[in-house]
Amino acid sequence: MEDPYSFCEICRINHTSGKKHSFSSKHTARLKTILKKFGSKISDSKKKLLNPVISKASSELSAVNVWCYMCSVEVKRHVADHHAIIMDAGLLEHLATSEHAKKVHQFFWENRLSKEQKKNYLVNEEGLDSFKEALKNALACYENEEETQLKKQAMKIKAIECTQTNVVNQKEDDLQITTQSEQQSGPSSGHSSGSWGNSSSGIKPHSKVQTEGVVYSDGLTFIGRSNCLPDGNVHTGAVPPWLRADDGEPTQTKPIGPTEQDFQEHLKKERKRKLNPARVGANFDRTSTNNPDWMPSFGRVWNSGRRLQSKQQYQRETGNWKKRKTMNGHHSGKY
């Protein structure tokens, strides 16, 4: 028994309409969208038949694929050649195959499309041959440009290396001149014997470094470093100055950092911070003292007077109070 259902590749559904399905509004709209989408990619690729485009190799471009709706297969759009990528070469080769031409003919026949549009989705052999010829010249130009760029980069690197070498050599020459001048001047150049005699030995732990006097020379004045503290400094393991007691003040044993009382106050503030600031009694002054004979009046909670007056006062403040009068001028109604 023949299966009454047919599967439509365009709409991706099973139907029982037979050939009538090709003329349905849903199928026609879907087919129009597919042809426009696929046709734009083919038109962009055909522009590169006479002017091939070559770019640097990258994993993103080499992984780009195109779905052919006529053949129902996925085709690689670009072709990788050594260190370069030929744009749209894979799609152009697929459009020029005989299998694609057969599938296009079948696709147009099944969907009742005009035969005049077939050429928009095909590439003839002559166009593919011209693309290959133009591609040879494009590859040669691309290789020459790459070699030129590599030479320029190599020249830049050599120039940088030469500059670095000259700087190093200059520093070495300056250092040699400095050492020679120091050797010629000798230790008796006006400095005291205890100032610079042991400068090369460094500072030993727990040692007292002292520099004495002021040294004069032609146009220059050297001010020696002052004597260090008798107990050493922070680098020799002594107590830093900001932790020492001032002269004439008794030594205090106050602990460094916040005390336990400060910590408790901090916790109290943190607990209050989580409470609602608009709660009842949040702004109440608990430090104020009142007369023991004081008692609140319950007119308007804390105000004196009748409750009716408190209600009228509240309505005046909110703007909802209207004085009702009768013809005789008396109040009417209830509040």
**pLDDT tens per residue, range 250-288:** 655 666 788 899 999 999 999 988 888 888 878 777 777
Question: Does the structure show a pLDDT above 50 at 163?
Answer: yes
Taking the C-alpha atoms of residue 53 and residue 49, their distance in angstroms, rounded to an integer, is: 9
Residue 220 pairs in a beta bridge with 217
Which of 28-42, 62-76, 93-107, 174-188 is predicted least confidently? 174-188
CB atoms within 10 A of CB 8: 19
Query: Residue 12's pLDDT band (boundaries 50, 70, 90)?
Result: confident
**For 83-142, how does the pLDDT look when each residue is reduced to its tens digit (9 = 90+)?**
888 899 999 999 999 999 999 999 999 888 888 888 899 999 888 888 988 888 888 888
Helices then strands, each counted (H, E), the chain: 7, 9
SS3 of 188-214: CCCCCCCCCCCHHHCCCCCCCCCCCCE
Query: Residue 332's pLDDT band (boundaries 50, 70, 90)?
Result: very low
Higher pLDDT, 218 or 78: 78
For the chain, strand residue ranges (E) read 6-8, 13-15, 54-56, 65-68, 73-76, 79-81, 84-86, 214-217, 220-223
Position 202 scores a pLDDT of 45
Taking the C-alpha atoms of residue 49 and residue 131, their distance in angstroms, rounded to an integer, is: 5
For 211-323, strand residue ranges (E) read 214-217, 220-223
**For 227-240, how does the pLDDT look when each residue is reduced to its tens digit (9 = 90+)?**
555 567 778 878 78
Are 205 and 237 contacting, i.e. CB atoms less than 8 angstroms apart?
yes
Counting every residue, how long is the chain?
335
Residue 125: HSE in the Cβ half-sphere, 13 Å Cα cutoff:
2
Query: Residue 190's pLDDT band (boundaries 50, 70, 90)?
Result: very low
The most confident of 25-34, 75-84, 242-251, 307-316, by mean pLDDT: 25-34
